[in-house]
Amino acid sequence: MNFDDIIYVLCLLSCVGAGNKTHLITFAIMFAYLAFFRLAHVFGFANPPGPTNMIQMVLTLKVSGVAFEKASSWKKLKQREQELSGTKTAEKELIEISDYDVELQSVDIFEIFQYSFNYIGVLTGPYYRYRTYRDYFETPFKNYAPCVETTVENLKFAAIYSVIYLTVDYMWPLSYALSPEFHERSFIYRFWYIWPAFLIFRMRIYTGLCLSECVCNMAGFGAYPDESDATNGEGPRKQYLHLKRDADKRSYNFNTIVNVRVKEVETCSTLREGMKHWNICVQYWLAVNIYRQFPSKKYRTGATLLCSAYWHGFRPGHYFCLLGAACYVTVEDIWQKLVGKEATGVKRLIIDCMFWFAKSCIGYNYLGTAFMLVSFSNIWSFYSSIYHVGYIGWFLMLTSGLALTKGKTAISIKHKQTETSR
């Protein structure tokens, strides 16, 4: 048994254990090992190949994800037990306990191992819950889902995205942005270059995410009846096991394993909304296990994006992009409250268009270019060529937004005091 095997067995054992802290132990071990895995050269080991890194990323989410699921179910069962025994005051309604919550407590190390290394999604995702994996083998839904039709439809979009990717990459390669000739072009051209640069990245990711969906579609993985109200990453939100009896009479969808909603990513007006439609199953994992679990509401967005950057890797570009997104979302929220909260009609449309342009220009293209440039020297060179206008613009919008918010609050307080004095 080598070092990798020992670490993984420790993670599985902590995941199998019961208690309200086991998920945190599993999370710590998996993410600590992810750091060691990527810094293997520091300890004298050979760096693992790229595909192995992808597998390790997916395993990190799966193992820690099932540990969080199990801990959540364990807490629900304990609370329900206390309510029924009278040791704790019951809520208005008793906590709902599903069969899955009970079954999850008896999952053993071999079942978690099989779930983790299930051939569907082990290399590129999408992330899916243990329940989705179990349902694939225990329900007949895959036999009646429109597997071929859905696969062909996704392949059409993957082909379109790949053609756009190859065309734009040929005409405006990212490498040109780092060449001496690029710095001789006008400022307008250099700044405009962030648009095709990040378009290349988006089309490449869209293609990969669509193809990973195709693997699931063709196998019937993640197919559920429409009546189950399945949602991305989570799976069914309504009772669905009774639908097995007449499975052949149902209509099906693959919402559970949908990775990206391209139309929404491109047309939504804010970065916060756009992130919800990008790499959706991973976003679900981050939302459930980091965002909702983080104790401070004020810093949970930053903590979630920091975890996302850590999961992606240790390259500076990941942090420039994802932590920059956390800063951008802060400004976006401030201005939404200032000008967009009560706007309607034409005014709402104009404001949405302005937010969309700002999101596309700074939230996507400016920050996304850093993700692709990877190294600090490349990022600094490119940002310097356009005089760091993105960060300057963000700072000006932040300071002006805070000043206007403070002024608006002061006026509101003064108005209330005047009304009270009357």
List, in sequence order, every beta strand (DSSP E) within 173-267. Answer: 224-225, 230-231, 235-236, 252-253
- Residues with Cβ within 8 Å of 74's Cβ and at least 6 positions away in sequence, in order, are 18, 19, 20, 105
Angle 78-64-320 from CA coordinates, rounded to 5°: 130
What's the Rg (C-alpha) of the chain? Answer: 24
- Full DSSP string of 109-155: HHHHHHHHT-STTTTT-----HHHHHHHHH-SGGGTS-HHHHHHHHH
Known catalytic residues are 279, 312
368 phi, psi to nearest 5 deg: -65, -30
What separation in angstroms does the CA of 170 have from each of 167, 193, 207, 314? 5, 14, 17, 28
Spell 262-294 as b/e; 16+ CB within 10 A means b.
beebeebbbbbebbbbbbbbbbbbbbbbbbebb
**Domain range annotation of the chain:** 1-80+95-117
- Give the per-residue pLDDT at 90: 53
At 75 the pLDDT is 84
What is the pLDDT, as a whole number, of residue 23? 85
Two structure tokens written together for 352? 């949405």
pLDDT at 19: 57
What is the residue-level pLDDT of the chain in tens, covering all 422 positions? 455 555 555 555 556 655 567 888 889 889 998 888 888 888 888 888 878 888 889 999 999 999 999 888 888 888 877 777 766 655 555 556 777 878 888 888 888 888 988 889 888 889 999 999 999 999 999 999 999 999 999 999 999 999 999 999 999 999 999 999 998 999 999 999 999 999 999 999 999 999 999 999 999 999 999 999 999 999 999 889 889 989 999 999 999 999 999 999 999 999 999 999 999 999 999 999 999 989 888 888 889 989 999 998 888 999 999 889 988 999 999 998 888 777 788 888 999 999 999 999 999 999 999 999 989 999 999 999 999 999 999 999 999 999 988 888 777 777 676 666 66
Provide the whole-model pTM: 0.87
Measured distance CA(258)–CA(279) in Å, rounded: 8
Using CA atoms, how far apart are residues 211 and 200, in angstroms rounded to an integer? 17
Q: How far is CA 154 from each of CA 159, 251, 261, rounded to the nearest angstrom?
A: 9, 18, 12
Asked if residue 126 has a cis previous peptide bond (ω within 30° of 0), the answer is yes
Q: What is the pLDDT of residue 1?
A: 44
Residue 345, pLDDT score: 84
DSSP 8-state symbol, 238 = S
Asked whether the beta carbons of 224 and 141 are under 8 A apart, the reply is: yes
Residue 420: per-residue pLDDT: 66
User: What confidence score (pLDDT) does residue 44 get?
Assistant: 83
Give CA–CA dist 251/232, Å, rounded.
Answer: 17
Any long-range contacts for 19-24 (C-beta under 8 Å, 24+ apart)?
A: 19/71, 19/74, 20/71, 20/74, 20/75, 21/71, 22/67, 22/70, 22/71, 23/64, 23/67, 23/68, 23/70, 23/71
Q: What is the Cα–Cα distance from 259 to 42, expressed in whole angstroms?
A: 34
Identify the residue whose tokens are 């069914």: 236
